[in-house]
Structure 1
Amino acid sequence: MQNYTVEEYALCTRFKTERRKKRLVRTDFEKQLIQLRKLDTELWTKRNNLPLIPLEVPYQRGWKRNFKLRDDVARSSEASFYRELLEKINTWQFSSEKSFKRKKKRKRKGVYVEKIQTVKEFSEWEWRSSKLELTEKEKAHFYKRERWCSNCKRYKIHYVFNEPWRYVLRVSPYMITHTKMVDSDLESQIKLIENYIVNYNLRGKINKIRGGFSNSWKSYRVENPKEKNPIKNKSLHAVYQQYVDEMIENHGK
């Protein structure tokens, strides 16, 4: 009688090899992470789609600044044209100070300079895009300008409005009139999934499965609580795993 090894015997039978068992375990775990990612995305979508609730007593939170038509232009015959153009190129700035000044260090002294605000400028890609809302008459009021980009280390083309004097800045209080609805059950589910991913450092693996890279986004680069205390949250692993498995099963149904 010929003797066979375990691996050779497994090839002739329906038993799974050790390598296949490990691969199935890893594949099953990756499928759970994919479902967990889908569930997390769905919960965040529900959170973002929650309606706004009007406040009984609105409150002021700083100041906002945008452009408006100059008084003499508003009384002219072309006021409607420039008003419609302003809706497409208007910009907003927000500040806690009404003066809209920012602190600039110069020779170890605090110097406050005013923030620069201009109407919207279009890049070369935006100018050629079919989604540009400007008409041909409105495009005639822009000129081509090259500007040095310190980030790209080269000159880039911008299309700038050639009559900025027609608009003046307007400062007004920035009032908060609505607040986002809060769903406590939804927040607890999101926080539970976030804690499970952070505590066991699964963000890089999820990104690798989903996009082919393991680097996590900057907003997710938080310190692992286990690195501070090795025994922290060890008792919560079973609770997290059981609850997450139940959510994934319910989500699949």
Structure 2
Amino acid sequence: MHDNFFMENYTVNEYALCARFKSKRRKKRLVKEDFEKQLIHLRKLEVSLWNKRRDLPLVPLEVSYQKGWQRNFKLRDDVARSGEASFYKELLEKINTWQFSPEKSFKKKKKRKRRHVYVEKIQTVKEFSEWEWKSSKLELTEKEKAHFYKRERWCSNFKRYKIHYVFNEPWRYVLRVSPYMITHTKMVDCDLECEIQLIDNYIVNHNLRDKINRLMYGSSLKWSYYEKENPKEISPIKNKSLHELYQQYVDEMIENHGK
């Protein structure tokens, strides 16, 4: 009777705190933290699988095939016969650029005076920004740097002039168009692809991508890669909201803790 008298003066949460039992609120918080830890672990596993797929080696094809055209620079014929051919050839390896196109003409559609016309794509050798020019990783020698001049150009993105270092003798190089041949393909690991697809299906079907991004990066990161069709509109089985799924998960975990 004496014990019952003191028991009646405590709330359930106060008694659970004194008895070192987990209160209902603490159980819910622990379940929520456990759920979030599992999502973080799932994201890390997904990234590691992506890296494994990226590091797979290339496999040569039995029969190569053409996929459009490529365009890059080469030495002009008279420069290639001159005494400084080796210097300009080594410099070209550092500043050469490539463009790819399905058409050999390398033209793109552009709107002019409410009409669509085709104009040729502009291609130049590599230019260096001020940060790249001052970087210790720049591969240019002092002799090669002497062939560049400083130029200010208006940048519409930053709304200010930016400094570039431009090659001052572009006439030494001419464009060369050649077929773009596919000779290798990426190795495919079926088991790895199955694991990646299983994780992606789980995340998409339960609409967990935004929650994972908020946990990992602090925001939902609405990337276009993840903006797919709403899974709720595909199948009625996926009509449960994240809150319902989470509440179901919480109830199951609380029951397990109670046992």
Q: Shared fold (TM-score greater than 0.5)?
A: yes
- Kindly, what percent of the aligned residue pairs are identical? 77
Q: 1:83 and 2:113 equivalent?
A: no
Q: Is the CA contact 2:206–2:238 (under 8 Å) kept in the aligned structure 1?
A: no
Q: 1:41 and 2:41 equivalent?
A: no
Measure the CA separation in 2 of the matches of 1:96 and 1:185.
Answer: 34
- Go from structure 1 to structure 2 and tell me whether the alpha carbon gap of 1:234 and 1:94 turns closer, same or farther (over 3 Å shift): same
- 1:22 aligned partner: 28
Q: Deviations over 1:14-45 (max 9, x none)?
A: 21012211110011111111111121111111
Q: CA deviation at 1:230?
A: 6.2
1:37-186 equivalent positions in 2, closer than 5 A:
37-186=43-192
Q: CA deviation at 1:76?
A: 0.9
Matched residue pairs, number?
235
SS at match of 2:109: strand
Q: CA deviation at 1:152?
A: 1.1
**RMSD after superposition:** 1.7
- 1:239 aligned partner: none
Q: 1:232 and 2:214 equivalent?
A: no
Measure the CA separation in 1 of the matches of 2:73 and 2:235.
Answer: 56
- 1:244 aligned partner: none
Equivalent AA in structure 1 for residue 205 of structure 2: N
SS at match of 2:225: helix
- 2:253 aligned partner: none
Q: Is the CA contact 2:132–2:138 (under 8 Å) kept in the aligned structure 1?
A: yes
Q: Is the CA contact 1:207–1:216 (under 8 Å) kept in the aligned structure 2?
A: no
Measure the CA separation in 2 of the matches of 1:171 and 1:188.
Answer: 40
Q: Is the CA contact 1:225–1:232 (under 8 Å) kept in the aligned structure 2?
A: no
Runs of 5+ unmatched residues, structure 2: 241-259
- 2:18 aligned partner: 12
- Go from structure 1 to structure 2 and tell me whether the alpha carbon gap of 1:6 and 1:230 turns closer, same or farther (over 3 Å shift): farther
Equivalent AA in structure 2 for residue 43 of structure 1: L
Equivalent AA in structure 1 for residue 10 of structure 2: Y
Runs of 5+ unmatched residues, structure 1: 236-253
